[in-house]
Amino acid sequence: MQQRIKAVLRLREMILDGELAAGSRLSEPMLAELIQVSRTPVRVALVQLEHEGLLELLPGGGYRIRVFAEKDIFDAIELRGTYEGLCARYAAESGASALELERLAGHIAGIDEVLESDQLSEGDFLRYMEINQQLHDCVIDMAHSPMLAEAMNRIVTLPFASPSAFVLVHAEIPESRHVLTIAQHQHHSLYEAIADGEGSRAEAIAREHARSAKRNLQIVLRQQDAMDRVPGLQLIKRG
Amino acid sequence: MQQRIKAVLRLREMILDGELAAGSRLSEPMLAELIQVSRTPVRVALVQLEHEGLLELLPGGGYRIRVFAEKDIFDAIELRGTYEGLCARYAAESGASALELERLAGHIAGIDEVLESDQLSEGDFLRYMEINQQLHDCVIDMAHSPMLAEAMNRIVTLPFASPSAFVLVHAEIPESRHVLTIAQHQHHSLYEAIADGEGSRAEAIAREHARSAKRNLQIVLRQQDAMDRVPGLQLIKRG
DNA sequence: AACGGCATTTTTGTATACAGACTCGACCAG
DNA sequence: CTGGTCGAGTCTGTATACAAAAATGCCGTT
């Protein structure tokens, strides 16, 4: 593998997993030593992660691991929802093909299956997360807009959006089942809106879906020890 | 000035002004020679402009100046409008301060002044463009969300959004006066919605404002020779 | 004449050396 | 004891050297 890609992947991983202290300054020689590459690929990785929003460039030069305020994260989720709403609108208004609708329905049915379990296991959470990701990607694809798909990747990488974090979050909160059921209702509504070509409704549902995610995060953040257990949350400064 | 910044600014300028052929592959030694820096800052600039969306990374390595389809540009404008709409909503709902509203009103009044001229000169267009930029930045500031402000900068740099392009566009199309007047009406409506705290209305107006810009661009693109005269348009492949 | 393979030559990716800027700490003066 | 200043050490930014990969063009073959 190319050193440059190795550096980006490893550095991102180290930041999100908390191997590097949130807010700390990063020195190129240190990272080069940790990742076992020279300073050049490290430098490229730093530039890239700064654009992704995980690092900030210091005035005097050098980089620091960014610390997010709670509001930053909520705004980022709102933004993501707005953006997905636009994709949903495009998907509905561009006239989805039968094949695409079938794929979308397939993902939703997959989640229905997962939720049939009486007691949700860790594996169930992982599977939900996996299908959920595919479902959202599917809606983005259905917008048929390379520009929108690309812009999605430019939005700040949400620091807690890893599968393992998802599992931990849902394994911890008692409302988990309720929360996922509501989300799935929204998925069904979204499908109908897109299938019926109702752009405005599809957009509204996608945005509301993101607002639900915001509320869920709030529940998690209220638990005092969440930060210690959920990878990524250490990047959020408690308000 | 730092070489790294020099490289980014100069490279972006060369791309947008058409000094480098759209779609052409860029070699680092060539750029280093052109910009009069070594390959290292050139490389950083390439990474950065790829994230800005002006370059694309080739599979085998190396970069190429990106060529946009017309749809890409329209989608980017729609996206920008959606983001600005979200900012406008935040601005309205967070309760704008008297000082902020005054600043916003000031910008709008400035544009009113420009539009009072019987015949709009090139200077008038430039001044309109300048104030218009301040006005839009002002709305983004009023959202009080660093995250949204930052995301705005991550959206693809629109290849024709330079002041000189604006002047050329408006000097060429006969509908110019009409177009600017409509835009200014939207500015006034937006102010009222924000001042009244009507988030949904503010958002709708901002989005409609962007759709108007889309229509104006369509008018320009229909003129066969537009590409030759307006810097940046050579990056758009005619459909 | 067209196509494919091989050699040449450029280009990228990577490593490293060097100069200037900055940081941090120790030491000295008040 | 406190504050400032000086200096050693470290870091960033930049340039450049080197190897592997890719593109190019040429020649032979079909």
CATH number of the domain bearing residue A143: 1.20.120.530
B75: nearest CB among A43, A147, A154: A147
- Count each helix (H run) and each strand (E run) in chain B, helices first: 11, 5
Say if CB B50 and CB B56 are below 8 A apart.
Answer: yes
**Residue B2 pLDDT:** 85
Question: CA-to-CA distance for B239 and B237, rounded, in angstroms?
Answer: 6
Last residue of a domain, one of A66, A97, A112: A66
Burial per residue of B88-99, b for 16 or more beta-carbon CB atoms within 10 angstroms, e otherwise: bbbbbbbebeee
pLDDT tens, A201-212?
999 999 999 999
| Signed CA dihedral, B155, B159, B162, B167: sign only | negative
**Residue A124 pLDDT:** 92
Q: What is the mean pLDDT of residues A49-55?
A: 93
Say if CB B77 and CB B158 are below 8 A apart.
Answer: yes
Six-digit token string for A65: 């691991």
Confirm whether any atom of chain C, the nucleic acid strand, is less than 7 Å from CB of B58: no
Asked whether residue A224 carries a pLDDT value surpassing 90, the answer given is no
Residues A56, A101 within the same domain = no
Confirm whether any atom of chain D, the nucleic acid strand, is less than 7 Å from CB of B3: yes
Residues B121, B203 within the same domain = yes
* Cα pseudo-dihedral A217, A221, A226, A228, rounded to 10: 110
**Residue B149 pLDDT:** 94
**Residue A36 pLDDT:** 96
pLDDT tens per residue across all 239 residues of chain B: 789 999 999 999 999 999 999 999 999 999 999 999 999 999 999 999 999 899 999 988 999 999 999 999 999 999 999 999 999 999 999 989 999 999 999 999 999 999 999 888 889 999 999 999 999 999 999 999 999 999 988 887 787 888 888 888 887 788 889 999 999 999 999 999 999 999 999 999 999 999 999 998 888 888 878 888 888 889 998 87
Question: CA-to-CA distance for A231 and A169, rounded, in angstroms?
Answer: 10
**Which residues in chain B, range 27-46, keep a C-beta under 7 Å from any nucleic strand C atom?**
27-30, 39-40, 43
C-alpha distances (whole Å) from B205 to each of A78, A102, B143, B184, B185 are: 19, 35, 15, 12, 10
Q: Count CB-CB contacts under 10 A for residue A23.
A: 13
Residues A119, A185 within the same domain = yes
Six-digit token string for B80: 């920008």
Say if CB B147 and CB A75 are below 8 A apart.
Answer: yes
Residues A78, A111 within the same domain = yes
Q: What is the mean pLDDT of residues A34-51?
A: 95
Residues B110, B210 within the same domain = yes
More confident residue, A176 or B143: B143
Q: How near does any CA of chain A get to the CA of B123, in Å?
A: 34
Mean pLDDT of chain B: 92
Residue B30: closest CA among B13, B15, B41, B42: B42
Residues A89, A152 within the same domain = yes
More confident residue, A119 or B200: B200
**Residue A8 pLDDT:** 95
Residues B172, B120 within the same domain = yes
Strands (E), chain B: 25-26, 55-57, 63-65, 68-69, 236-237
Which range marks the domain in which residue B38 is found?
Answer: 3-66
**Residue B238 pLDDT:** 80
Asked whether residue A4 carries a pLDDT value surpassing 90, the answer given is yes
Q: How near does any CA of chain B get to the CA of A105, in Å?
A: 26
Distance of CA A96 to the CA centre of its chain: 25
Number of separate domains in chain B: 2
Q: What is the mean pLDDT of residues A190-194?
A: 98
| ∠ CA B165-B219-B162, rounded to 5° | 15
Phi/psi for B26 (5° steps) reads -105, 130
DSSP notation for B28-48: HHHHHHHHTS-HHHHHHHHHH
| pLDDT-based confidence at residue A102 (cuts at 50, 70, 90) | very high
Contact A151 B79 (CB under 8 A): yes
Say if CB A88 and CB A196 are below 8 A apart.
Answer: no
| pLDDT-based confidence at residue A158 (cuts at 50, 70, 90) | confident
**Residue A208 pLDDT:** 98
Mean pLDDT of chain A: 92
| pLDDT-based confidence at residue A167 (cuts at 50, 70, 90) | confident
Last residue of a domain, one of A39, A66, A93: A66
pLDDT tens, B181-198?
999 999 999 999 999 999
The SS3 call for residue B145 is: coil
Q: What is the helix, strand, coil percentage profile of chain A, to 5?
A: 70, 5, 25
Contacts of B83 in chain A (CB under 8 A): 79, 82
| pLDDT-based confidence at residue A25 (cuts at 50, 70, 90) | very high
Six-digit token string for B5: 């910044």
CATH number of the domain bearing residue B21: 1.10.10.10
pLDDT tens, B25-60?
999 999 999 999 999 999 999 999 999 899 999 988
B147: nearest CB among A43, A44, A79: A79
Residues B112, B213 within the same domain = yes
**Residue B193 pLDDT:** 98
C-alpha distances (whole Å) from B149 to each of A141, B12, B45, B83, B94 are: 26, 21, 22, 9, 15
Q: What is the mean pLDDT of residues A155-175?
A: 81
Q: How near does any CA of chain A get to the CA of B51, in Å?
A: 7
**Residue B171 pLDDT:** 79
Say if CB A69 and CB A45 are below 8 A apart.
Answer: no
Show the DSSP H helices in A94-198 as ranges.
98-115, 122-142, 146-154, 163-172, 176-195
Asked whether residue A5 carries a pLDDT value surpassing 90, the answer given is yes
Contact B154 A72 (CB under 8 A): no
Residues A131, A153 within the same domain = yes
Residues B91, B120 within the same domain = yes
Last residue of a domain, one of B66, B85, B108: B66
More confident residue, B150 or A167: B150
Residues B95, B9 within the same domain = no
Residues A187, A216 within the same domain = yes
